[in-house]
């Protein structure tokens, strides 16, 4: 009978641990709310522009491959290539604007004035 008591005591300890874990899990799931910043992706404007640039470059590469394989005529290829190159130029200009605004440029040393005003 002592062995039965030890087994039921061990079973109750395991059962208690499982119950405590289940309660902690339910409390975590239903009562702890994540911050909105945890759910939002942390992407800057520069990240978005770089991704657009890479996508455009991939599209240009695919367009050249499909033209060489005969899928597009030369006129269609040239018009699509021009459109993609124009879009790439706009994105690159935006990237330049963003990076210029993010870079802190040190102030240069001002030239000393001479007596003659030169």
- Residue 60 · residue 88 · CB < 8 Å: yes
Across all residues in the chain, what is the average pLDDT? Answer: 82
Q: What is the pLDDT of residue 9?
A: 74
- Residue 96 · residue 86 · CB < 8 Å: no
Stronger pLDDT, 10 or 31, i.e. the higher one: 31
Residue 41: pLDDT band by 50, 70, 90 thresholds? Answer: low
Write out pLDDT tens, residues 48-105: 999 999 999 999 999 999 999 999 999 999 999 999 999 999 999 999 998 888 775 5
């Amino acid at each position: 009978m002592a062995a039965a008591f030890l087994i039921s005591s061990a079973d109750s300890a395991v059962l208690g641990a499982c119950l405590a874990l289940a309660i902690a899990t339910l409390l975590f799931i239903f009562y702890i709310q994540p911050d909105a910043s945890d759910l939002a992706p942390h992407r800057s404007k520069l990240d978005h522009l770089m991704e657009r640039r890479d996508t455009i470059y991939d599209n240009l590469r695919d367009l050249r491959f499909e033209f060489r394989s005969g899928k597009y005529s030369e006129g269609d290829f040239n018009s699509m290539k021009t459109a993609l190159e124009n879009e790439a130029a706009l994105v690159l200009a935006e990237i330049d604007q963003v990076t210029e605004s993010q870079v802190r440029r040190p102030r240069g040393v001002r030239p000393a004035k001479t007596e003659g005003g030169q």
